[in-house]
Structure 1
Amino acid sequence: MESKGKVCVTGASGFLASWLIKRLLLAGYHVTGTVRDPGNEEKLEHLKRLEGAKERLVLVRGNLMEEGSFDDAIFGCSGVFHIASPVLGRPTSDPKAEILKPAVEGTLNVLRSCKRNPSLRRVVITSSSSTVRVRHNIDPTVPLDESCWSSLELCELLQTWYAMSKTMAEKAAWEFCKENNIDMVSVLPSFVIGPSLSPELSATASDILGLLKGKTERFELHGRMGYVHIDDVAKCHILVYEREDAQGRFLCSSDVIDNNQLLTILSTRYPSNFPDLPTRFKELGRPNYELNTSKLEEGLGFKFKSIEEMFDDCIASLAAQGHISLN
């Protein structure tokens, strides 16, 4: 296979980064992946088993909070996919401090290394649809698009630290890249669903597993959510990297549905597998919204997988890993 060049992926062992690396290797890229501990064989085994990994994947150390620690990984790469970002998976005494600083400073540290790399062609930053939808007075008749930004004041008020961290990090990235003449594109996925390559449960898979077992807290926080297949997010990253005409931000989401629509889909497809699945959510009066993904779909010809397909794939993966039974 003819090489498509060398790229770097930060946070390589994570849910999305693993899928992106899989897709990049299949497409013929040489990939340098950054991880916190390259010696952790157990955590990295799933990456080393990927097709093409032996010949074209190198894993090196990179720490978001260490300025310069990405220099070696990024040097000589024509593309950088910055995916590593803190996610709060456990209760903490100061969630705001623990997520905001690493998100913003980590992004800037990666971009400083990009600035020092003369081979760089383009940077793709993984942001989030949460950077557009935490807003006052959403008009449900006008879908949110890439021109929208979440309100930092409202994020603070609601204590939605993840949305706040992604918004601040993406804004800081745009400002840095503009000042330093770096070609950057950002991808804004919604709630990412699908099979996991790693044996570790991703945050979203953990939420789905909880829902199937009757735990509703995580979903009650949102009320309504956009969903996207993990493989679509990986493919979208490569598409916006490769297409010269891809510029700016790209919302990456299939359908937006409310919790009760999701329950209907799951109970219809799995009528007897999950007896603890809730029958109905309380209506919480959350704002109704839609996401306008025409920039990706019509502008670049991208096609998304369905809600049913992404949840089927996620549930099959949870069963294969022994978390649930489909018998």
Structure 2
Amino acid sequence: MEHYGFKGLVCVTGASGYLASWLVKRLLLSGYSVRGTVRDPGNYKKVEHLWKLEGAKERLQLVKADLMEEGSFDDAVMGCEGVFHTASPVLGPKSDPKAEILDPAINGTLNVLRSCKKNPSLRRVVLTSSSAAVRARDDFDPKIPLDESSWSSIELCTRLKVWYALSKTLAERAAWEYANENKMDLVTVLPSFVVGPSLPHDLCSTASDVLALLKGDTEKFSWHGRMGYVHIDDVARCHVLVYEDTSAWGRYLCSSKVLDNSELASLLAERYPSLPIPRRFESFLGDRPYYEFNTSKLRKLGWEPKGIEEMFDNCIASLKEQGYFL
């Protein structure tokens, strides 16, 4: 008989990823047993950071699963009371956005939910979506902050070839449709741009973009324009919170502060004068519409985010520790 943590067994998909690793860390610290899915549990270099987490040796299992393989998650989710689906493609498409980004996001989400449906122990599914599924639209009033009732425009995302936002929007819509049809308890978390320490040594695209900016290369951030930012640990805590709080329902925007590129650049250049961060840089997309996020729904559950300074302080300290600064 397997011994589970006092809070029971939960599953985290794509467990070795940037955000998922933090979620695994938070769940273990909270007393859960965690079954994480990865593409190759035997690839020690990709998963060693997970085995170093407190409680991992006693309460972590890693199992193999593939987003694009139907039924691949059946064994992983069986017996779990909660499933956190975080795995999703992020990298920009090289040639075929449908095959590289859209299909894995939508079909991968549905594959996980179909496996969840077969599990009689299931209490709730928490899906990681993105604020990109809220803010890519051109018909809102900039004076009214965007909230969970807003959805990105599929037509606009397609026309502008904003494949990441399109994949997140379509995957979340598909998840809601499936959950409603199958009376499944689903909650979705919509983080803005995630900043903070990376547990995996190999940086994901998000962490790589931040590192490049701190070294003076603004190219990736020049695609941002106006953007919300949030500390990675706040996003992990938000996932645990909406899973545990029985009153949680629907979508939850998870963001600390929204800034224009020029505001971010001047704040960072001033705070870290020894780094070659430019004092201002332009957006490739021209002026993006002004918007703010209304995160009162999440704050009502007791969630309070860290500020922009703390998320970048923690991120820089972690990058230095991992040897990314000379």
**Paired residues, what number?**
321
AA paired with 2:325? I
User: What is the deviation of 1:96?
Assistant: 3.6
AA paired with 2:315? C
Equivalent of residue 6 in structure 1, options 9, 21, 27: 9
Query: Taking structure 1 as the reference length, what is the TM-score of the superposition?
Result: 0.96
Equivalence for 2:180? 178
Deviations 1:237-288 (A, max 9, x none): 00000000000000000000111111121111111x223x222123621111
Deviations 1:39-81 (A, max 9, x none): 1011110001111001100000010011111011100000000
Equivalence for 2:240? 238
Equivalent of residue 204 in structure 1, options 203, 206, 211: 206
Structure 1: 5+ residue stretches without partners: none
Equivalence for 1:318? 319
Aligned ranges for residues 103-142 of structure 1 at < 5 Å? 103-142=105-144
How far apart in 2 are the matches of 1:72 and 1:2? 19
- Give RMSD over aligned pairs: 1.2
1:77 pairs with 2:99: no
How far apart in 2 are the matches of 1:202 and 1:88? 9
How far apart in 1 are the matches of 2:222 and 2:198? 24
User: What is the deviation of 1:2?
Assistant: 5.8
SS of equivalent to 2:216: coil
Is this contact kept in 2: 1:129–1:189, CA < 8 A? yes
How far apart in 1 are the matches of 2:39 and 2:289? 38
How far apart in 2 are the matches of 1:219 and 1:27? 35
Is this contact kept in 2: 1:226–1:255, CA < 8 A? yes
AA paired with 2:95? S
SS of equivalent to 1:265: helix
SS of equivalent to 1:88: coil
AA paired with 2:204? S
Equivalence for 2:275? 274
Is this contact kept in 1: 2:269–2:278, CA < 8 A? no
Is this contact kept in 1: 2:73–2:112, CA < 8 A? yes
Query: Taking structure 2 as the reference length, what is the TM-score of the superposition?
Result: 0.96
1:285 pairs with 2:287: yes
AA paired with 2:280? R
Runs of 4 or more, structure 1, over 6 Å off, are none
Equivalence for 1:23? 26
Is this contact kept in 1: 2:261–2:282, CA < 8 A? no
Structure 2: 5+ residue stretches without partners: none
SS of equivalent to 1:217: coil
Is this contact kept in 1: 2:77–2:115, CA < 8 A? yes
Equivalence for 2:35? 32
SS of equivalent to 2:220: helix
Equivalent of residue 226 in structure 1, options 225, 228, 235: 228
